[in-house]
Each structure stands twice: as C-alpha cells, then as structure tokens.
Amino acid sequence: MKEFTQEERYRVLKSPDEIKDLHQRNAQSIYRQTYHVQPVTGLSSDPNGFVYHNNLWHLFYQWTPWGAVHGLKYWYHVTSKDLVHWSNRGIGLSPGDTFDNKGCHSGSGIALKNDLYLFYTGNHRDEKWIRTPYTCAARMDENGKLHKLKEPLFGPRPDYAEHQRDPKVIYHKQKDMYYIFIGAMTLDKRGTVLIYQSKDLLSGWQFSGELKVPGYENFGGMWECPCIENLNGQDILIFSPQYTKLPERGNSTNHNVYLTGQMDYETLTFTPSGPYHYLDYGFDFYAAQFAANVNSNDHAIMISWIGLPDNHYPSAEDEWEGTMTIPRVVSLKDGYLYQQPPEEMKLLRKEPIPTEGHLPDTCEIEALFDGEDTDFNLFTNQNSHGLKIHYQSDTHTLTFDKSHMKLRFNQQVFEILNIKLAEDLKNMQIFIDKCSLEVFINDGKYTFTARLFPVKEEHNYVSDHHVKLTIYPLKESVQDNFIL
C-alpha cells in the first residue's frame, strides 16, 4: 500500500488529468461494486448532504482523490431517482478558501422551495497546523452548481475542545425555527452536542447551549455526526460516540448508536425512553445520516459509511477504499428502529439460481430459519469456513466470525461479534456486492454490515437443514464512470 506524505495527502486537485489514470486502475479492481455508491477514485468516508429535492435524491460523500488515505476532503456528488440507480455528478464542494483551506468536512443539507442548501465543517489549519473548525454553508443553483457563502455561519466555541463538527440542520415547524446540531467534545473530553438556532437559514445563528441527555453525561469522548428525526411522535437521536469501548463491540472505540425519546427544544433536553441500541451490529458501519425533506411521519431514509475511522481494508492495495450502504427505509416499532432496503431493490433481481452451494459475487439471499441451532457459512471453499454464522437458540445469540477468511484485516479491533436477539431467529435478507455484506435480520430489527474481501476460491456457501435459502443474482445499478 502506498505511503503518503502530509503534503501529498493535502495536495489540491487542479485538473481531472491528475487522477484519470488512478480511476482506470481503481476500476480494474476485482472488488469494485455494482450497486453501492463508491469513490470515483481514492477514498470515501462519511455520507453528507443527503436530501430529496426536485424529485431527485442528492447524496455527497467525503472524498480524498489521491488514494486510500485520509487527507484533503472534498464533497463528491451522486444522484438517484429511486435510491437504487446512482449516477456520478462530479465534485460538489472543493476546499481552498480561508475557512476550509484543509478540507470541506462532514455536514448535511436541506431543501427550501427550489433551492438546496448544504452545511459543512470548514477545516482550517494555520502554518503551525493548529485546527479551527468553522460551520459553513453553500447553495446549489438551478444548474446544479454549488456556491459557497463568503463567510462562515459561525466559528468554534473556545469553551469546548477543537472537535466541533458535522452540522446537522433541521427546521422545527411548530417553533418556526432552524436548528443546527454540532458534534463536539468538552474540554474535559466528554462527548456532547452543541445546538445553535436561527430564524433565518443563512444568517443570525446564535448558540443555544449544550444538549442534555440524562444518563449519557459520560458516554464517549466525542459524539460525531449527530442527527435527529421524528417518527410517529417519537424523536430519534443517532450519533457516533468515539474513544470508548462498548459491550459486544470488541476493541472498537468507534460506534453508531440511537436513542428513542422526546426532544425539548426549550430546555435543550433529549429524554430517552429506554437504553441505547446499536444502529448496526456489524464490523463496519459509521456516520449514519437521515435524509432531509422526506416529509413522512412513519418512515425515514438513512445511509451510512461502510467503514470505521482508523481502519484499513484490502482494497487499499488497489489504491481505493470506502463505500456507502444501501439506503435504508427506517421505521419505529416497539421502541426499535427497523431498517429495510428500498422496495426498488427488487428490480435488480435476476432469476433465482439453484441452491447448490455456489455464491455469486453480487446477489441477494433470502434465508428463513426454523428457530433451532443453525450453522450457515458464506464465502467458503474446500479448505475454509469463510464467514461463519452461527445461531445458538437457547441464548438467542447470533455470532458472525470472519477469522476464517483468507484476507484478514483489522484483527486488532474485532473478528468475531455477537448479537443477542430478543426473540428467535426468523429470517435474514442478505446483500452481497463484491466486498460488502449487509444483513437485515428479523425483518430489519437488527442489521449487520461488513466489508469482506473473498478471494477467487471463496465463492461458495454451506448451510444446514434449519435454513431455507433463495438466491437472486443482482443486476448492476451504479455507474463507475469518471466525472469530475
């Protein structure tokens, strides 16, 4: 894997010709995907600016052009009419102004009438490499071109640590007020959210205070990517706590969780109605974001980065890294978020194949279980168990073990994870796309997402008689074309 100097990582992209050859090399990788959004070149991480606007889904992602390395971040733009077929649109936001001279970092978007607005973290560094984060904004014109505001909406607060980022903008109809939630760290290194408010979207922002979440005053050292949504009268708070270990998460210190409860905008208090839940139980899932302007009381649309900060993946050998999840339709039932793939994903199905042990490299699997102890292994060959999936019925424990695959990575974080179900294992809907795995368990009450890199021989599966399978090869729905 190529090693980058700081100068190379933060180099400004001046011409498409500088990375055209890199795109051609990336596109030759056997792990390039067919129905997931992936970086046009180099590295992608957090999803940003996810908005439904003028009958089109707009999505941006954090992008470093030069290779499988975090460095100078851009926002790259993709669009879809149906959340399944995605097209590359080119660079959305480029760094280089005073307030974002070292990157346009994560944020969100919102649509008002015919205009689309983006809010992002301007990553400024001085000559001593001291960081100052600014909350910045941009407007998209009718031709799809983005225009950044000349000045930031506001700068960082000195009474908090320098980690203040990932603005999520919302409009509260009853209060006729805009709010921005900022992920932050206190000076004594506790994770929190800072809240700003304004009557006007692009000016007049005032600091309201720190979000209070009773029982979560010491929950991690930084809360990245906060996001809030209301479903059926219940508020849903999702965020990514860092610098802490949590149960059943191995040695990972990066997580994505959700709370259900009620948000009081007068007291800036989110009162949970129960304990936190993992948004996903897999090896690689982070920085989830709800789409803006969905305008539904009973469901939201969510997408996430299939990856974790500080982790690295075998595709780095091919000079690229990162992917988004399938967008997920999220609903609330009995205090749990249920996640489902869009109904339009069924349009990608080809005719089902015989269940004779062969595993296509892009497919959907429907698995029905009878509630008994079960073993079901994916990516197997004659000499390997591949990804071992075991269900222990007496404890309702579902175990995923990737330690038997040939290409092993991030072993120091985790290779085996458990999900403690509250009921019997009934079903799974599994999506495989070259190097990604997304599993929707028990109608999406639990999900498991991972990057896996099977070699040529690891394209089989083994299951016992306690599981019934239907396997659909899937058509391509994402274009891997070079557009800047």
The per-residue pLDDT for range 144-165, each reduced to its tens digit, is: 889 999 999 999 999 999 999 9
Give the pairing of strands 427-433 and 320-321: unpaired
First to last CA, the chain: 25
- Binned at pLDDT 50, 70 and 90, residue 143 comes out as confident
Q: How far apart are CA 240 and CA 43, in angstroms?
A: 20
Which one from 17, 21, 46, 373 is the annotated catalytic residue? 46
Among 300, 298, 251, 246, which Cα is nearest to 277's? Answer: 246
- Provide φ and ψ at 98, rounded to 5°: -55, -45
* Contact criterion met (CB below 8 Å) for 428 and 437: no
* Contact criterion met (CB below 8 Å) for 376 and 441: no
What domains sit in the chain, N to C, each tagged with a CATH number?
A: 6-340 (2.115.10.20), 351-479 (2.60.120.560)
- Provide φ and ψ at 403, rounded to 5°: -70, -10
* Contact criterion met (CB below 8 Å) for 192 and 210: yes
- Looking from the CA of 7 toward its CB, the CA atoms found within 13 Å total 0
Q: Based on the residue annotation, tell me whether 46 is a catalytic residue of this protein.
A: yes
Torsion sign across C-alpha atoms 58, 304, 307, 106: positive
| Average pLDDT of the residues in 335-358 | 97
Q: Looking at the DSSP assignment, which residues form a beta bridge with residue 432? A: 363, 437
Q: How far apart are CA 115 and CA 112, in angstroms?
A: 5
* Contact criterion met (CB below 8 Å) for 153 and 137: yes
User: So what's the pLDDT on residue 168?
Assistant: 98
How remote is the C-alpha of 80 from its chain's centroid? Answer: 17
Give the pairing of strands 104-112 and 397-404: unpaired
Q: What is the pLDDT of residues 118-127, one digit of tens each?
A: 999 999 999 9
| pTM (two decimals) | 0.97
